[in-house]
Amino acid sequence: MEIQTTDTDCLLVIDVQNDFCEGGALAVPDGDNVVDLINRLSEQFNTIVATQDWHPKGHSSFASVHPGHEPLQQIDMPYGPQTLWPDHCIQGSPGAQFHANLQTDAFQNIIRKGFRAPIDSYSAFFENDHTTTTGLSGYLRERGIKRVFCVGLALDFCVRFSAEDARREGFETVVIESACRGINIEGSVAAAIEAMQNVGVELR
């Protein structure tokens, strides 16, 4: 895929980690198949930022810390609704590492998120309270970035919320659908696409 890019564009590579790929604790269907395309896209950008889910053991989003609950059930947390997940992307674990075939040398910044035990973090820009910032907006502005291209895993969670927040933070935002895969819980992929389009995200 060829994209016309400029120095004011950034490729945002979201959570292409072992636990979200085949054999991982929270494997996204067909997730491995984004890697080669993302590697090719990376060659077309001067600015590349990646995110990495980075949870402590016993994170509050894990179903295992909520007796009587199962993964993919939803509960209410102080910051709002929270989907519960299998234990995944534990700090320093093999599952938290980037996929072995992902070309990471060109990553200029890696945003680790979800490291605060009481709160989950889907977005590359804000934690799930929509208030606690990761600092990515400021970094991109300092670099003169105007447009963000989002790729990675999973389309209906971390990609969606990263893209929506990028748009709300004033960046032109594009999601490259062929370089994303979704979990699709009860139609969540379709809902994510609609939600992103409603805030002005372009899907290609």
Residue 101 DSSP code:
T
146 is catalytic: no
Q: What is the DSSP string of 173-187?
A: EEEEEEEEE---SSS
Phi/psi of residue 197, each to 5°?
-65, -35
* CB-based burial label for 97 (10 Å; 0-12, 13-18, 19+): middle
Catalytic position from the list 15, 32, 87, 165: 15
Residues 37 and 44 sit within 8 Å (Cβ to Cβ): no
Phi/psi of residue 95, each to 5°?
-65, -25
Catalytic position from the list 21, 158, 165, 180: 158
15 is catalytic: yes
Question: Which stretch of DSSP H or E encloses residue 138?
Answer: helix 136-142
Residues 96 and 90 sit within 8 Å (Cβ to Cβ): yes
158 is catalytic: yes
Q: Which two tokens stand for residue 60?
A: 């509050």
- Rounded to whole angstroms, the Cα distance separating 58 from 94 reads 17
Q: Which two tokens stand for residue 196?
A: 């992103």
Catalytic position from the list 19, 21, 32, 113: 113
- Rounded to whole angstroms, the Cα distance separating 39 from 131 reads 32
Catalytic residue annotation: 15, 113, 158
